[in-house]
Structure 1
Amino acid sequence: MFFIPNKFLFFCMLMGSTIFTISSNSWLGAWMGLEINLLSFIPLMSNTKNIFSTEASLKYFLTQAFASSTLVFFIIFSFLMYLNYFSLNMNNSMKMLMLSSLFLKLGAAPFHFWFPSVAENLTWLMNLILLTWQKIAPMILISYLSNEIYMQFIAIFSTLIGSLGGLNQTNLRKIMAFSSINHIGWMISSLIMNNNLWKIYFLIYSLLTILMISIFMNFNLFFINQIYLMMNFNLMNKFLLFMNFLSLGGLPPFLGFFPKWMIINNLILNNYFFLLTIMSMLTLINLFFYLRLALNSFLLLNMEQKWFININFKMNYFLISMSMISLLSLPLFTLLYFIY
């Protein structure tokens, strides 16, 4: 993709539009950045060799265009009411309406209806951009609007949908999409307390997502049964895959547990006990179906001999070294957390 001139141009516009949005000093400028981001991502999604990418592009465009038009309407309305784009005097109903349009752009529940179906029809590279980079601009704008009760509701609902939605899925792209919705709930809960928590959570989530999608791209995996039935997908490859899966679910002692632990700690300190209890219980559902997939892959439907492990270190050297980060980085981050 990066060697095609027009694709490279749109990719640079995609990166620049996000930076333009988060550095804007007015809501109207932020909206312009979001529009440039939308119009630069659509050509990257389109692929003449994949007919489903056209459907995904159309769904993404219609949803994002509706969210953008709603956002700019309320931006203009709030400007006419308060004569200040970043007014702190906006009432809660106006903040809720603007937050709803941003949650729609983000794909948070209950505005998630477009997210799994779009992710299902995209390539892994476009999924990587959709799951990571495309979250930055809406999240930064959400942090400007503090409506505690509404954001708690969205956080709980996103965690619920992200956990239950992935239970009976066999499509890996849909599983990653619902996992992303679950993580959106944790990110929103971190924004209620501290923006620095969101930055740490997002960086670690992005790292784990890159590792997961690297494995899927390397082995050309799209469905769960490919992990069970592919003879070249040996025991070591399954170990690397599910170690990252469990890290993404937040199981200690993997790296993915560290940002959840920080948020849990801050929720306790700020007396958000109800939010903490609900989100922790719902996240256990995520871990349940990750563990169920791992159990089936290792024990029930494995077609190779259990006492023989065929490891191709030349092929897996990158995956082994990067996956070890998921396990070995937790003590380092824990030490830094206690120091600072």
Structure 2
Amino acid sequence: MFNSSAKIMFFFILITGTMITVSSNSWLGAWMGLEINLLSFIPLMNNNNLMSTEASLKYFLTQALASAVLLFAIMMSYLSNFPIMQEISTYNNMIITSSLLLKSGAAPFHFWFPNVMEGLSWMNALILMTWQKIAPLMLISYIAQNYFIILVIITSTITGSLGGLNQTSLRKLMAFSSINHLGWMLAAMQASESMWLIYFSFYSFLSFSLTFMFNNFKMFHINQLFNSFFESKILKFMLFLNLLSLGGLPPFIGFLPKWLVIQMLVLKSQYILMTIMTVMTLITLFFYLRLCFAAFMLNYHENNWTINMFINNTSFKTMLILSFISTFSLILVSLVYLFL
């Protein structure tokens, strides 16, 4: 990813932009941070090929539109003190929330997200799925409007689950999974002020575990999953247990944040919302399981003498540690909770 010193510089500016937005005490300061973040991510996206150039152009156009709408809404909110503007000011929060949802890629403002993901390298895709969501979500948490956000949560979980059903590209699959998880993050925001940060941190860890593996083996499409891992069953198990953990299957750590959100929603008596979200998550689990079944059931030739090639590899050890945390952490956390 960092094949030049310029990219390292842009990466640090990207982090700075998010920090400015998060720590800002005015809407204009937050907008400025979002702009710095946007303009530093575009050079990182460009890998001197046609797809990444197209993706960076799409990303720039949608983010510029969202920024323009956000700036317009901020200016309107400053004018809301005048008597003539009182009626318009009631819609300001909704306009600001909509522009921030467009920036983060939540449904029904998600149209750009899978197409941009398709043109990125895995490391850039990871930044787009995780880091680029922090600033917009933090701003949404300040002004989240109840009924509008609930509508977005339902559309995001439905779009994220149904959109991933007919995908053959792993990057698009991860994009629709991200939209689904974004719905859960917004629901966590409704449930508790800090709950979405807990959910986000778990999601970021699981996304990193998967993208690290995909990047290491240069996987971009589903058929590559079936043709890979002749050498080691351990690698195959590691990948698919990580996938199931991201989907939120109970024995794995990916279930813990979902469990917490479901519990919070039940305590707030939001039963219908919780039911819709849980049913839609089962659909995402279905297409993850479909991947796992196909890869495990279709047996290919294996060369046993090539297994040792992986054991001493640093990246193999890293993947093993990440997969162990992803798979067994929930059991360890439950045991600690029982004994305490």
User: TM tier, shorter chain?
Assistant: over 0.9
1:56 and 2:58 are equivalent in the alignment: no
Distance 1:222 1:289 in 2: 16
What residue number does 1:86 align with?
Answer: none
The AA in structure 2 aligned to 1:206 is S
What residue number does 2:253 align with?
Answer: 255
SS in 1 for 2:194: helix
What residue number does 2:194 align with?
Answer: 196
Please give the per-residue CA displacement for 1:166-195, whole angstroms capped at 9, x wherever unaligned.
Answer: 111111100110000000000000111212
Distance 2:98 2:212 in 1: 33
SS in 2 for 1:195: coil
SS in 2 for 1:274: helix
Please give the per-residue CA displacement for 1:149-175, whole angstroms capped at 9, x wherever unaligned.
Answer: 111110111000000011111111001
Distance 2:187 2:154 in 1: 9
In the superposition, the TM-score normalised over structure 1's length comes to 0.93
Distance 2:141 2:339 in 1: 27
1:129 and 2:127 are equivalent in the alignment: yes
1:304 and 2:336 are equivalent in the alignment: no
Please give the per-residue CA displacement for 1:35-72, whole angstroms capped at 9, x wherever unaligned.
Answer: 00000000110121x21100000000000000000000
Correspondence 1:157-196 to 2 at 5 A: 157-196=155-194
Distance 1:79 1:332 in 2: 51
What residue number does 1:26 align with?
Answer: 26
Q: Percent identity?
A: 52
Please give the per-residue CA displacement for 1:232-277, whole angstroms capped at 9, x wherever unaligned.
Answer: 4632211111100000000011000000000000000000101000
Correspondence 1:103-122 to 2 at 5 A: 103-122=101-120
What residue number does 1:327 align with?
Answer: 327
* Contact persistence 2:231–2:306 (CA under 8 A): no
Please give the per-residue CA displacement for 1:69-115, whole angstroms capped at 9, x wherever unaligned.
Answer: 000000000111048xxxxx996522111111110000000000000
What residue number does 1:156 align with?
Answer: 154
Correspondence 1:260-299 to 2 at 5 A: 260-299=258-297
Q: Which segment drifts farther, 330-339 or 108-117?
A: 330-339
Distance 1:82 1:242 in 2: 56
Distance 2:276 2:40 in 1: 38
Please give the per-residue CA displacement for 1:179-223, whole angstroms capped at 9, x wherever unaligned.
Answer: 000000000001112122111111110000000001001111111
1:76 and 2:72 are equivalent in the alignment: no
Q: 1:91 to 1:158 in 2, by over 3 A?
A: same
- 1:145 is aligned, of 124, 143, 146, to 143
RMSD: 2.2
* Contact persistence 2:46–2:53 (CA under 8 A): yes
Distance 1:251 1:5 in 2: 41
Q: 1:192 to 1:91 in 2, by over 3 A?
A: farther
Give the Å deviation of 1:304. Answer: 2.5
Q: Which segment drifts farther, 228-237 or 109-118?
A: 228-237
Distance 1:75 1:304 in 2: 61
Please give the per-residue CA displacement for 1:99-146, whole angstroms capped at 9, x wherever unaligned.
Answer: 111100000000000000000000001001001100000000000112
Distance 1:77 1:159 in 2: 31
Distance 2:255 2:299 in 1: 28
Q: 1:181 to 1:339 in 2, by over 3 A?
A: farther
Q: 1:91 to 1:281 in 2, by over 3 A?
A: farther
Please give the per-residue CA displacement for 1:269-299, whole angstroms capped at 9, x wherever unaligned.
Answer: 0001010000000100000011111000000
Q: Which segment drifts farther, 31-40 or 221-230?
A: 221-230
SS in 2 for 1:286: helix
Give the Å deviation of 1:332. Answer: 4.1
SS in 2 for 1:144: helix
* Contact persistence 2:73–2:92 (CA under 8 A): yes
Give the Å deviation of 1:322. Answer: 1.4
Q: Which segment drifts farther, 228-237 or 64-73?
A: 228-237
What residue number does 2:45 align with?
Answer: 45
* Contact persistence 1:68–1:101 (CA under 8 A): yes
Runs of 5+ unmatched residues, structure 1: 84-88
Give the Å deviation of 1:310. Answer: 4.2
What residue number does 1:8 align with?
Answer: 8
Q: Give the number of aligned pairs.
A: 333
* Contact persistence 2:76–2:92 (CA under 8 A): no
Give the Å deviation of 1:321. Answer: 1.8
Q: 1:132 to 1:217 in 2, by over 3 A?
A: same
Give the Å deviation of 1:318. Answer: 1.9
Give the Å deviation of 1:305. Answer: 5.5
